[in-house]
Amino acid sequence: MPLEKYIARVIEASYRLELQRIKVLEELRAYIKSNTASGGPVKLTFICTHNSRRSHLGQIWAQKAALHHGLSFIQTFSGGTETTAFNPRAVAALRRAGLTINDSEASAADNPRYEVIIKVGTPPVISFSKMFDHPENPQKNFCAVMTCSEADESCPIIFGANSKIRLIYQDPKVSDGTNTEIVTYDQRCLQIASEMFYVMRQVKGEA
């Protein structure tokens, strides 16, 4: 699907979020708004246990939504409490959405790096599985966005973070190897994208 068409679908979905979910997203919106006055970057680190699926989707779509709304001061990252790999099923879902993803280091078969093109003319997001405190991630003054309950429970305190927000998503891994795999990953991809577009639209101050 062309990316422009997918984004139009995402924006449409972002206007149909359930009230209960909007209340959850309000905390993230409030964090971003409260930290814009400093004039520096607002840093969001999306965290799940393995940094393989949900945290990558969160980082990538939050960055895409921020740039879409002209919020260039927002910087997004991702990490885990363990290191595995950026799951190829999640990569495939993003590609089906229309994002250009290049294999930066395909030789690293156990944990390849991918270049995700967020916007032409801006540096790509380099995506690979890493710990949340990896040197490429912020070490202080960032918001830890916990996308899975396991990581949230195992790390009650994220050192260096000035805020910790629970934004839990169901793991699409439950569908791996089944005939609903593609549908499940596409649903999670669309859900996360639409919620990130909602948040950034609210930060921008648009209805």
Give strand pairing partners of 44: 76, 143
Whole-number pLDDT of residue 155: 77
Ordered per-residue pLDDT tens for the chain, 207 residues: 699 999 999 999 999 999 999 999 999 999 999 999 777 899 999 999 999 999 999 999 999 999 999 999 999 999 999 999 999 999 999 999 999 999 876 556 789 999 999 999 999 999 999 999 999 999 999 999 999 988 777 777 899 999 999 999 999 999 999 999 999 999 999 999 999 999 999 999 965
User: What CATH number is given for 3-204 in this structure?
Assistant: 3.40.50.2300
Whole-number pLDDT of residue 39: 78
Does this model's pTM top 0.75?
yes
Of 29, 53, 56, 36, which Cα lies nearest the Cα of 45? Answer: 56
Of 72, 96, 88, 81, which Cα lies nearest the Cα of 1? Answer: 96
Whole-number pLDDT of residue 24: 95
Distance CA 8, CA 2 (A): 10
Locate the domains of the chain by residue range. Answer: 3-204
Contact indicator for 62, 46 with CB cutoff of 8 Å: yes
Whole-number pLDDT of residue 105: 64
